[in-house]
Structure 1
Amino acid sequence: MPAETFEFQVEARQLLQLMIHSVYSNKDVFLRELVSNASDALDKLRLEALRDDSLGADTSDLHIEIETDPEARTLTVRDNGIGMSYDEVGRLIGTIANSGTAEFLRELREAKEKEAGGETDGTEGLIGQFGVGFYSGFMVADEMTVVTRRAGESQGTRWSSRGEGTYSLEKVDEAPQGTAVTLHLKPADPEDQLHDYTSPYTIREIVKRYSDFITWPIRMAGEKTPGDGEGDDGAEPAPETLNSMKALWARPRDEVSEDEYHELYKHIGHDWRPPLETIRFQAEGTFEYQALLFLPEHAPHDLFTRGYRHGLQLYVKRVLIMDDCEALLPSFLRFVKGVVDAQDLSLNVSREILQQDRHIRMIQRRLTKKVLSSLKDMKNREPERFATFWREFGTAVKEGLVTDPDSRDAILAVTTLASTHGEEPTTLHEYVERMRDGQDAIYYMTGESRQSIESSPHMEALRARDIEVLLLTDPVDEVWVDTVGEFEGRKLRSVAKGEVEAVPDEKGEEEREKQGEEYADLLGWMKERLSEEVKDVRLSSRLTTSPACVVSDTDDLSPALENMYRAMGQEVPKAKRILELNAGHPLVSALNRAYGEREDRSGLVETAELLHTLAVLAEGGRPEEPGRFVRTVADRLAATL
């Protein structure tokens, strides 16, 4: 079959141009990425061979081989792993078919701007983070060629490109199992001997720095030695293994450096930056396993997308059997990276079996407890580092308050929330310690932003009486506060639901009873006139300056929660709200006076409707009939001129 030529997608072409023009300060990372891809291919073949006896693949000597040719200026990274089919090559290499590419390009530009401004965030990590490691080869190569054959197939595939907008793809008859990536290197720079990628010394240094922990042997042919016989061009060079292949989690703690931990994290986490925290755990007894976990410093761009791949690497007796084992940690800890090496699991265990395996469930419980206790220690020991973690991952952790009742207390112990007490976040325990005498509830309000909550009419009375309110702006906050219900014996109470009486006030209660009698007729009339929109109209104990507000009944869903359920495809009935009036506001008192003086009250209906619409607008809602509302306000304003 003759070679076919295809064009890259627009974003792929932009990415290639960035690679070709050497936007990265550390070009060595291309070899790390190619070795990492080769290691993944070997892992996949080992697992596939365990699951499929009919595959017929040779797994007797799985390895990675690096070959250099100074005369031809080529560098080849070869593995005898799973390989790729013709269709897979076109899909996985020929195109970049995921939306992460645009995000990659945006973050790359931002990273370069930071570097230009003197910040040292580094752009190298973006290569692995966005799964475009293969293309990093164009930083050092004018052309790249891939020859691959998938295990179990008889025909191979050849892919090649100069990174100029097109690539060729053809089927080949002769191709060994696995994948060989050949880089046709750019001309040598005589002044840059440290980056001569045909030099064995350079290759050794890069592999030792980035890939020493890879569990498969990384081999490089040794330099040829002259032979003794006449005409003998030299003996075959003995291959040299460049990496130690030592599992870091199995070595004594005092024999592993922080740099080695960091390199392992970068390999499995596809992140150039070091982890925020490293957690080692070893379980002994009837069921033994070791775990090495990492907490990232930054949240990945797709953490909250449905397609986010998460889970730890699961090994059984040092053999990787699953790359992203979701069963080892609950979803709310999906950002945690690392490995678990168990002793007594079956090598051909499936995802379905894992979900039911009691040993796996036990590992999950213990690892969850270990991660949460480590977070608590970090919070107490290094509050600034914890603040960094919570800023990036707090929203995900709070999901566990809803999904994992067994971990709820441990999560609440580290949960920090914005508050009217100050600019710094607070814990629930700290809130309780500051509660006013006689205050029996922890008050909170949910909303889109701190600014919108603080300016809400619902906050007026509590602000006037110096009652602290938690300011909750994450979508998950709408759910967990109802699920948790209370903390240390104090109810969690929304300031936008039900009646609010922050601190008992006998004098205030007497005044409200008096006003209730004075406004009873108006309230009953408004409830009747606005019955399509509201379930009740009453005087408010939470307003001091605004004329009105709408609140939800104590047991009703909030509007935000209603919208959330609908967005998930769940139909929920729309709950009518309660309209509260501020008897001390001139507009409300004037309306009550006019109601008592007039026999014909039809002219007051429009004012009552305006009051309700103003209350809806004040909490960020929108009028049922925006056009009618605008016309009414315009007419009222014109009448005052």
Structure 2
Amino acid sequence: MQKTTNKNEETFEFGVEVPQLMSMFINSVYSSKDMFLREAVSNASDAITKFVGIKSELDGEGYSTHMYSDLKIEIIPDKENKTLIIRDNGIGMTKDDLKNFLGNIAASGTAKFREALATNKESVESLIGQFGLGFYSLFLVAEQVDLISKNPRDKAYFWSSKGQTGYSIKEYEEDLSFSHGTSIFLRLKEGEEAYLSSEKLIELVKKHSMYIKYPIFVESEVKVKKEAKKENKDEVEEVKEENENKDNKEEKKDVEEVEETVKEMKVVNNSEVNVWKKKVSEVSKEDLQKFYTHISGDTNEFLAVESFQFQGLVEVKLLLFIPSKQRMNFFIKQEEKAKNIKIYNNNVFITDSLPRDVVPEWMDFMYGAVTSSDFSLNISREFLQGKTALKILKSKLPKSIASMIKECMKDEKKAETITAEFAKNIKMAVQTTTDNTQEEFAKFLRYYTNQEKKLIGLDEYMNLIGEEEKQILYLTALNQKDIENSIFLDAYKDKHVLLMTDASDEIMMQGFKQYKGMDLQNISVENSGAEEPMPEFDEFKKKIAEVLKEKVEKVVVSKRYKSLPATLLTQKFGYSSTMESIIKFNSNVENNMMYQMMLGMKKVLEVNPENEFIQKIKAEFDAGNEEKTVELINFMYQATVVGCGYPSDNTTGFIRKLFELI
């Protein structure tokens, strides 16, 4: 710490309420002490920007601006003196600035501060200027703050405060190593020594200030190797000369390699990487990859990137990345708040904790960053406040992501990656979005059909079936083998049916009922056009319905399933066999009344009048063999339950009866 004289020192006392105010400030405003460094770096960056803005004026007035070519922010931990130094060569502060900006926390009054803190109605810029919040966050970790500041148009001044009683200002008369700027000296509190670790400081800079546009140097201790003379290691050795018979003693100076700790200033931010000022096409792939890795932690190359700009009440810039690999684990409960979209304000990281109604779970495969100088922030500049920014993101994110995927689908390799890695996310998007947005994401779905051996989209499917068809037919199962062997396909051998083989498909279809005006029809669900009028079967049909009245809603007669005696269909608004299986895998199903009600819904039994087994049962019925008729109807029903993929409630009885018949 450099010494100062007592000449012209002025002392200013804080009001009696300031200790209470500072306590409120420390405990209520910032969520973490770490924020002090972000605020200090932001202030330093602002000071440099102000200097750059008036450099021409200063040159014209004859003031020294030679440091313009080396603008920077430096952070120096001094472990010996338990002091952290933060300095910049920005505009610096005049004496009036020191009093008006750094002294205003006392003049403003505790009551007004408390009111602003409670309501957050004033803009954060106003509050920070009014109360000196950004600067006073230094007292989160410091017991005393000293600073030396020099404005090109004024003398250098020394400012000092312990944050409780008041502050002093005096002219700084020692020699300065800078012609403009500010050096801050934080005498750290007991227990805050972690902030003297260069590793900790670098971590905080990278988290909050990585893209400040001026280089940020952190002084670190590094070990270097050097050669040094060995102490007391001189040896005398005899050297024999071939042509002489005398010994010569020669001193040999040995050296050894030693390790030494030195201090080194290292740039730790990406000040030269500016992904916001240009179109994404004008930013190098290397810079984009650096930014992507920083916000995602993913070292793999990203698949796609795009920038978007939205203007309204606030101007927002959005940069989105699609990774090359899936990062989500669908078997692990997702975070209550999204962490993959980072919010920046003037290149300073604010938060990545966004509500799920803005960034729903299906978006978790993406990475992105949003910046604006117009964001309304809370008093500590850690959280967005108000609804304008969130409304913009909520409205624009789905459409922006859909736009990016659409471009990827034009490239065969990228399309393969999208389908292989992110199909589940797309299905979740289809399930949870509506109207045009849902339709946009539905375009990216890809399936095989019972007729096609290649993946096709819904538009290609519609071209295959022609205009005469009014429904998009599909079937769900939990794996490829089950769907290939499904008895439901028996009635659709001459039609195209989309084959959906993942649990996410069934879940998606709960919220996806139409595409471009066409209904989506699960072929395992009751279809109003299936029944065929056959008066001779009316009485037999009534008998089946009577025997199975606890299990079947109704019985219909149809010849669609030519090789099967019967099929069991879900009622129009009921759960398919696939959905029932998914629900029963859920351990909480017993406590969910809605699930229990849906699982208890009766089915529709469709019988084939031309099937030999059905005709045998009818013959027993026509002959008046009541007991045999009932026995065979129950067996036929159990066989149909198993064949259609529903869990049987009497598997053992069914197997025993099967062996009896054999």
- TM-score normalised by structure 1 residue count: 0.61
Equivalenced residue count is 449
Identify the residue that residue 178 of structure 1 maps to in structure 2.
195
1:499 corresponding residue in structure 2:
527
1:374-523 aligned at under 5 Å gives the runs 374-379=404-409, 381-406=410-435, 407-436=437-466, 438-463=468-493, 466-499=494-527, 512-513=532-533, 516-523=534-541
Q: Is the 8 A contact 2:198 2:219 kept in 1?
A: no
Over 3 Å counting, the alpha-carbon distance change for 1:590 and 1:556 in structure 2 is same
Contact 2:345 2:375 in 1 (8 A): yes
- Contact (CA 8 Å) 1:50, 1:347: kept in 2 or not? no
- Select 1:291's aligned residue among 302, 309, 318: 318
- The answer on 1:586 being equivalent to 2:612 is yes
Show the counterpart of 1:160. none
Counterpart Cα distance in 1 of 2:383 and 2:36: 27
Identify if the C-alpha distance between structure 1 residues 321 and 79 changes in structure 2 by more than 3 Å, giving closer, same or farther: farther
Change (3 A) 1:249 1:411: same
Bigger radius of gyration:
2
Instruction: Tell me the residue number matched to 2:390.
Output: 360
How do 1:231-380 residues align onto structure 2 when only pairs under 5 Å count?
239-241=265-267, 243-253=269-279, 256-284=283-311, 286-303=313-330, 305-308=332-335, 309-326=338-355, 328-348=358-378, 354=384, 357-379=387-409
Runs of 5+ consecutive residues of structure 2 not aligned to the other structure: 1-24, 42-72, 78-83, 87-138, 144-188, 225-259
Distance 2:461 2:496 in 1: 8
How has the CA–CA distance of structure 1 residues 58 and 177 changed in structure 2, closer, same or farther, with 3 Å as cutoff?
Answer: farther
Superposed displacement of residue 493, structure 1: 1.2
**CA distance in 2: counterparts of 1:50 and 1:260, whole angstroms:** 38
Q: 1:636 to 1:266 in 2, by over 3 A?
A: same
Aligned residue in 2 for 1:605:
630
Offset at residue 397 of structure 1 (A): 2.1
- Identify if the C-alpha distance between structure 1 residues 369 and 349 changes in structure 2 by more than 3 Å, giving closer, same or farther: farther
On the 8 A contact 1:595/1:604 being kept in 2, the answer is: yes
Give the corresponding residue for 1:623: 648
1:23: which partner in 2? none
Change in Cα spacing, 1:627 to 1:320, as seen in structure 2 (3 Å) is same
Asked if 2 retains the 8 angstrom alpha-carbon contact of 1:458 and 1:542, the reply is no
Q: Which residue does 2:550 correspond to in 1?
A: 532
- The percentage of aligned residue pairs carrying the same residue is 21
8 Å contact from structure 1 (residues 212, 245) kept in 2:
yes
Q: Render the CA deviation track for 1:503-545: whole Å, top value 9, x for unaligned.
A: xxxxxx9xx43xx223222221111111122122222343121
8 Å Cα contact 1:447/1:472 also seen in 2: yes
Cα distance in 2 for partners of 1:350, 1:534 equals 63
Please, what is the CA RMSD of the aligned residues? 4.2
Q: For each residue in 1:41-75, what CA deviation from the matched residue of structure 2 results, as whole angstroms up to 9, or x when unmatched?
A: xxxxxx999933996975365599899xxxxxxxx
Residue 458 of structure 2 aligns to which amino acid in structure 1?
Answer: L
Q: Does the C-alpha gap of structure 1 residues 281 and 350 become closer, same or farther in structure 2, counting only changes over 3 Å?
A: farther
> What per-residue deviation string (whole Å, max 9, x for no partner) do you get for residues 71-91 of structure 1?
xxxxxxx999xxxxxxxxxxx
Q: 1:182 to 1:285 in 2, by over 3 A?
A: closer
Shift of 1:457: 1.5
State the one-letter code of the partner of 2:306.
I
Q: 1 CA distance for matches of 2:370 and 2:466?
A: 48
Q: Deviations over 1:142-179 (max 9, x none)?
A: xxxxxxxx96699xxxxxxxxxxxxxxxxx97651437
Q: Equivalents in 2 of 1:251, 1:222: separation in Å?
A: 35
The alignment partner of 1:414 has SS state of coil
Amino acid at match of 2:432: T
C-alpha distance in 1, partners of 2:621/2:656? Answer: 24
What secondary structure sits across from 2:343 in the alignment? strand
CA deviations on 1:397-447 (whole Å, 9 max, x unpaired) are 222233222521221232323322323222222111111564221111122
Shift in Å, 1:396: 1.9
Query: 1:469 & 1:270 partners in 2: Cα distance?
Result: 41
Would you say the 8 A contact 1:499–1:541 is kept in 2? no
8 A Cα contact 1:537 1:578, kept in partner: yes
Write the distance in 2 (CA, Å) between the matches of 1:79 and 1:602.
96
| CA shift in 2, pair 1:217/1:352, >3 Å | closer
The C-alpha deviation readout for 1:594-624, integer Å capped at 9, x for no partner, is 322x223202322211111111111222321
Question: Structure 2 length normalisation: TM-score?
Answer: 0.59
Cα distance in 2 for partners of 1:484, 1:179 equals 56
The 3 A distance-change label for structure 1 pair 79 and 427 is farther
Query: Cα 1:323–1:353, aligned 2, differ >3 Å: closer, same or farther?
Result: closer
1:422 counterpart SS class: coil
Shift of 1:480: 4.0
Mapped to 2, the partners of 1:635 and 1:283 lie a distance apart of 73
Preserved CA contact (<8 Å) 1:310 1:335: no
Report the counterpart of residue 659 of structure 2 in structure 1: 634
Kept after mapping to 2: 8 A contact 1:548/1:581 = yes
1:395/1:476 contact within 8 Å kept: yes
**Quick check: 1:57–1:152 contact (8 Å CA) kept in 2?**
no
Check conservation: 1:533, 1:576, Cα contact below 8 A.
yes
Q: Which residue of 2 aligns with 1:51?
A: 29
